[in-house]
Amino acid sequence: MGPRAGLSTIANRCDPHAQCLAAFAPESIAHYLEHVWLGTPDASDEPTLAEDETTGKPAVLAVTELASHRAVLLAAMVKLYGGECETHARALLSQWSKYYFGFAATAGFVAAAMLGRPLDMSPEKTHVVLRDGLPVALYFAQDALQAPASAPASRYTPLVDHLNAVIETLAAMTKVAPRVLWSNAGNLLDYLFEQCTPPFDLADDAAWLFGPLAADGEVNPLRMPVRLATPRAASLPNPFSARRVCCVRYEIPGETQLCGRCPLLLTMSDAEIALQDASH
């Protein structure tokens, strides 16, 4: 089955109202897009926009404005994970990026892979809804879906450009290495491909997105985000699917539970793995 079978007709509807991108996605990944829109939703469509008795109205800002909200983003992650804003800034912003990429990277993937169309993800046209600093919704221009394109480069370049802009912004806020943030995005994208293949034929798309070189001939920051490796512990699958770069969540005090693809798991003994399992 091709990547756009059964889904492309949805994108051709003439709807004067905002459309939720979850309607465009396979059921296995649609939950990522329940708060992602083409067009500007109102509170009747998007409940995160409603005023809350405790926190008031959420902040709605263009992605280009994120740089001026550093303190708010860090405070949101401290509330969720603990730690201190400045001491653990790089690990905290790494975690914030995962929430944001869940919306943005999934949207760009679904447009490119499922609908066969580039999505205009220009940061100045893309708006994120922040409630207490946490991204809770995202919306693009109503006409953000572009004309169908066959080449993966045409379909995925807007996504890569958007990731690059957001990663540059977050990396400038603290000393987090851009490769950590690219790994967060790449790990999610690898999972999305995994969830949609089969029945969709996305081999060419994955080869382009995760290839060794980027479109400009430089090393691709999304290259091979997940690798198969031999773990130390016999209790882990062999080969074990591990992220190429750790998200550094472990730097936050008390965050001893590693993610299921953490490369640090490769170095652990069976006893240490048992402690990880027990803490789930």
Q: Is the pLDDT of residue 104 over 90?
A: yes
- CA dist 90 → 74, 84, 177, 220, 223 (Å): 9, 11, 8, 22, 22
Q: Is the pLDDT of residue 62 over 60?
A: yes
Residue 4: which pLDDT band, with cuts at 50, 70 and 90?
low
- Residue 62: in which H helix or E strand, if any? strand 59-62
Q: What is the chain's mean pLDDT, rounded?
A: 92
Q: Is the pLDDT of residue 1 over 80?
A: no
What one-character DSSP code corresponds to residue 112?
A: I
Residue 16: which pLDDT band, with cuts at 50, 70 and 90?
low
Residue 49: which pLDDT band, with cuts at 50, 70 and 90?
very high
The reported pLDDT for the residue numbered 131 is 95
Domains of the chain, earliest start first: 8-224 (1.10.510), 225-280 (no CATH)
Q: Is the pLDDT of residue 226 over 50?
A: yes
The reported pLDDT for the residue numbered 56 is 82
The reported pLDDT for the residue numbered 228 is 94
Rounded to whole angstroms, the Cα distance separating 141 from 135 reads: 18
The reported pLDDT for the residue numbered 280 is 64
Cis preceding linkage at 199, omega within 30: yes
The reported pLDDT for the residue numbered 14 is 35
- Residue 244 token pair: 């190429």
| Average pLDDT of the segment spanning 258-274 | 93
pLDDT tens column, 160-189:
999 999 999 999 999 999 999 999 999 999
Single-letter residue type at 84? E
Which SS3 state, helix, strand or coil, does residue 189 take? helix
Rounded to whole angstroms, the Cα distance separating 85 from 66 reads: 17
| Average pLDDT of the segment spanning 11-35 | 83
pLDDT tens column, 106-149:
999 999 999 999 999 999 999 999 999 999 999 999 999 999 99
Q: Model-level pTM?
A: 0.92
